Chain A
Amino acid sequence: MNRRRFPWLSYLVVVSGAVLTVVPFLDMVMTSFKGPGEAGTLPYRFLPKAFDLSNYRAAFDQLDLPVLFRNSVVATALITGSVLLTSSLAGYALAKLRFPGRDFVFRLVLSTMMFPPFLFFIPHFLILVHWPLAGGNDLLGRGGAGLTVSVVALAMPFLVNGFGIFLMRQFVIAIPDEVLEAARIDGAGEFTVWWRIVVPQTKPVVVTLGLLTFVDAWNEYIWALLVSTAEPEVMTLPVGIQLLQDHVDPTRTMPIVMAGLVLSVLPVLVLFLLLQKHYVRGIMLSGLK
């Protein structure tokens, strides 16, 4: 297109779009510093009168932030670790090992991607409630609350990801067979081949998949809401903050809610800014979201 003239109209469109995108974030940060009676009152003021940190202190008091943080971190770590491990192992097996039923298993993995998540909330919840020999249940899954009382419940339905396996397989396939064969002739077992060759060779895609999984797990809301309604001890950051905003007069506590939101959004935002290229590549590869 015409690149010689200064594209002022394009700048106008892109900059105003960017302002629309960023202003809600700025409003969140500004409100988190506002004092009592300053937020949600007319006439509207964008900037706080003073940058007061008391809302952040209040967020720690009213939200039990350390516990929420711990639950979010544990669930996110479990999910990310498990998805990476299972995707890499299964991806390697499907790409490079020969065994009967390989095509069938691969098709099965692909088919898992077509089921929308909302189909599973109810049965997953019931399966965890009736998990045998957990949370006071007997062998047939009766009598107790099952796995729903444990932090593990937050992670359980997300531990394996069909898309992750597909993605890893596509990248493992690109590793030359000769490299793997050479290692085998040197006496390396399949596990060694996987750990010493496949894992290092697929490092970029591991970072991409890890980042996508981390962000999704950290931001997950609906499932965490279900689990922590049954057991408040396993509440995550998003659920805890939403609860505060639902149950107290919003105009009074809004600055505290915003402070909590800033703290909960910050880890992911920093990670995204540091590893942006990998994340963007992941979105392109998944094509969804």
Chain B
Amino acid sequence: MVNALAPQTAERAAPSPPSAGPAVDGRRRGRRRQVVVAYLFLAPTLLFFAVFLFLPLGFALLLSMSRWAGFHLGDIDPVGLDNFAGLFADGSTFLTPVLTNTLLFALGTVVLALAGSVLVATCVDRLRFQGLWRTLYFLPIVTTVVAVGNVWKYMYEPGGLVNGVLNAAGLGSVAFLQDPDTALPSVVVVQAWASVGTAILVLTAGLKSIPESYYEAAALDGAGQVTVFLRITLPLLRPSLLFVCVTQFLTGLQSFALIIVMTKGGPGDATAVAALEMYRQAFSYGDWGTASAAAFVLFLVVLVVTLAQLWFFRRKGEDA
């Protein structure tokens, strides 16, 4: 994965000898034309990245170290690291419950999605109609978060499907999204439900790459299914498992669309996560400085996880 990202550095053209006739002149003109054409083809892309990547990054960094209530750009008031200090000051909700919620949300999603996808992927591998199952498990992924969030919110209602099933089983109703104790786990279930399809896809591909001969050898040795799963499937599936873990964890750290749709961070701060806090600070409270600082803190967390992942995969790559 990492190696595939390395740019091709092969510059095959040897420098042509000077004054070697009109053919070379023509080729050289062709080269010069290629340079112009290349930058022409890249112009929209480079322009876009300048305006929508580098300018915003600089702007966000500036805002994170300023006090600003919006409106006039001239009113941006530099305050150094005050915004960052404010986030971690006594009485700030950023560390607890917001960052804690973020980690719990990401972690919960990973655990649930991983457990579900391992179970389904290993079972699907033995069945017919694999395409059909894959299609079904994939439906949530192509569905807008507004649909996913609202349908589940409705299913969690006192008169909704989930409580309907609980009541039919003789259990009492649960106020899933209204009770601060159950709100976060309830949202985690939905996020895991929505992401399990991708995980199944990755794990199925991983399973397919395990040589059949390993299983045959194990069968000859008389190994039971549980032993085969623990001793062959799981260890050989480790790269795929790790990949699913890290990507789902990163997605979980950044996600807040589902929470906006379902709970808006409530009740109280029970489902407030970092990206949502950033969004609210800016667009609800007009505190753009604190919002930008929160964004960079979360970015730092994401970056650390990403680098740890790269480091880990690179080390693994050396063994292989």
A12 nearest CB neighbor, chain B only: B123
Q: Given the known A-B contacts A27-B161, A218-B144, A283-B201, are A112 and B56 also in contact in the complex, defined by CB atoms under 8 Å?
A: no
B154:A31 contact, CB within 8 angstroms: yes
Assess the A10–B154 pair: CB atoms within 8 A: no
Segment of A58-66, A89-97, A200-208 in the binding face = A89-97
A150 at the interface (CB under 8 A from B): no
Give chain A residues whose Cβ lies under 8 Å from the Cβ of B144.
218-219, 221, 237-238, 264-265, 268
Q: How far is the CB of B179 from chain A (nearest CB, A)?
A: 17
| Cα-based distance from A130 to B136 in the complex (angstroms) | 45
**Roughly how many angstroms separate A127 CA and B34 CA in the complex, as a whole number?**
34
Q: In the complex, what distance in Å separates the CA atom of A272 from the CA atom of B197? A: 14
Interchain nearest-CB distance for B178 vs A (Å): 13
Within 8 A of A (CB), among B184-202: 193, 195-198, 201-202
Q: How far is the CA of A97 from the CA of B8 in the complex (A)?
A: 12
* Of the residues B63, B159, B247, B299, contact of A116 by C-beta under 8 Å: B299
Whether the Cβ atoms of A24 and B53 lie closer than 8 Å is no
Pairwise interchain contact A41-B45, C-beta atoms closer than 8 A: no
Instruction: Tell me whether A122 is interfacial, beta carbon within 8 Å.
Output: yes
Q: For A92, give its contact among B7, B41, B282 (CB under 8 Å).
A: B41
B107 within 8 A of A: no
Main secondary structure of the interface of B (DSSP, over half): helix
Whether B236 is near chain A, meaning CB under 8 Å from some CB there, is no
Q: How far is the CA of A39 from the CA of B157 in the complex (A)?
A: 10
Residue from the set A90, A103, A229 with the largest chain B CB neighbour count within 10 Å: A90
B8 CB to nearest chain A CB (Å): 7
* B261 lies within 8 A of A242 (CB): yes
Given A122-B295, A280-B138, A283-B201, decide whether A157 and B52 contact each other with a Cβ distance below 8 A. yes
User: Chain A's interface: helix, strand, loop or mixed, by majority?
Assistant: helix
Say whether A119 contacts B295, CB under 8 Å.
yes
A116 → chain B closest CB, angstroms? 5
Contact of A42 among B30, B119, B158, B296 (CB under 8 A): B158
Q: A123-B55, A160-B44 are in contact. Are A21 and B11 (CB under 8 A)?
A: no
- A to B CB contacts below 8 Å, 6 in the list: A3-B126, A116-B298, A123-B55, A123-B59, A160-B52, A264-B144
The 10 closest A-B pairs by CB, nearest first: A44-B164, A123-B56, A10-B123, A219-B144, A238-B146, A160-B48, A97-B38, A99-B38, A93-B41, A89-B41
Interface of B toward A, CB cutoff 8 Å: 1, 4-5, 7-9, 11, 13, 30-31, 33-35, 37-39, 41-42, 44-46, 48-49, 51-53, 55-57, 59-60, 63, 72-73, 116, 119-120, 123-127, 131, 133-148, 150-152, 154-155, 157-161, 163-165, 167-168, 193, 195-198, 201-202, 205, 215, 219, 225, 228, 243, 247, 250-251, 254, 256-257, 260-261, 275, 278-279, 282-283, 288, 291-292, 295-296, 298-299, 302-303, 306
